[in-house]
Amino acid sequence: MMPPLTGIQIVEFEGIGPGPLAGRMLADMGAQVTVIARPQKSAVDERMGAATNPMRRGKRTVTLDLKQADDVATALQLITQADALLEGNRPGVMEKLGLGPADCAAHNPRLVYGRMTGWGQSGPLAQSAGHDLNYVALTGLLSLSAHKGQMPMVPPTVVGDASGALGLAFGMVCSLLEARSSGKGRVVDGAIVDVLAMLGSIAQWVRASGQLDGVSPSPFHDSPFYDVYRCVDGGFITLAALEPQFYALALSKLGLSDVDPAAQYDTRQWPDFKARLTRLFASQTRAHWCALLEGTDACFAPVLSLKDAACHPHNVARGIYHTAADNSIQVAAAPRFLPLITSSDTGADRHEQR
């Protein structure tokens, strides 16, 4: 059988982590995905070190410098011919490049514009850096993995059951799209073990670079800059400053001027520095560290309970949770859908605003 998304054209602006994985999932379903890559490797790509980027499997790559007008024009030509676009930049970056939804809509009004972020397009944390550990912490889900008073790590039901549900839903949508054109249905075999293994593609890539499942110390298990720390009041916070610029900012915010940011990946220093950070974070309350670090690019988030997560200002601003009549906490559907072009993007409204 032909893959269900055969004939679908997608332009992916390359980032790290979940965005490229979403693109690969679509490519695996038959979509033709064109990756627009930067001329320079990111700090994370440099750390990976693998000759082949597995997130590019099944995709074709075009290298463009989006600071150059000609390359932006080339990107717009690709977008004009596409069915969909994927990007994982901070809110506002694509607009500054002239590649935001309104810009693209002028060339292709039927475009599906996919945006992958950690914190969302809006809310008080929208412009802050973060990583997986921080996002799981702020939803309250990280807290579910710990016995009372102990250090939390991986939340139950989310990694396996929820991933399987997401994979099945994805497969169903792919098949529904194909059936709409072919008139033929198909069985979607959504085994959790298959879906979970596929979602582990990023971890497999990290493993290939020697940073997981090997004899060398792992940034995700042994480093001082990606971990959960206990505070003096018994609360916990997360730090996930993997990139050099975010690590340097975290050191500055914490007043650790004697620590060399360039030595971030000197694994010989990790045990002593992790012990130092453990003592430092244990010297103050969780609220103290939130006041100092939250909303910055230190890649920080407090570990919240499910109840506290529903009250956090960022989650409230985004309307993620609401309390039902029976006082149960209900979670909003995700992802969200917005118009490609809004009334404020129209020529008439722009003229009025002048």
Residue whose structure tokens are 């965005």:
19
Active site residue 103: no
Cα 71 from Cα 163, distance rounded (Å):
37
Cα 136 from Cα 4, distance rounded (Å):
32
Q: Which residue pairs, CB below 8 angstroms and at least 24 apart, start in 200-204?
A: 201/21, 201/24, 201/54, 201/55, 202/17, 202/18, 202/21, 202/55, 204/54
Query: Residue 191 burial by CB count (10 A; 0-12/13-18/19+): exposed, middle or buried?
Result: exposed
Report the half-sphere exposure of 82 (CA within 13 A, side-chain side).
Answer: 25
Strand pairing class (321-323; 9-13): unpaired
Catalytic residue among 161, 194, 272, 349: 161
Catalytic residue among 45, 65, 71, 131: 131
Is residue 285 within 8 A of residue 293, CB to CB? The reply is no
Considering just the CA atoms, what is the radius of gyration of the chain in Å? 22
The DSSP element (H or E) to which 293 belongs, if any, is helix 286-293
Q: Report CA 309 to chain centroid distance, whole Å.
A: 19
Active site residue 107: no
What phi, psi does 314 have (nearest 5°)?
A: -65, -45
Token representation of residue 331: 């979670």
Positions marked active-site: 131, 161
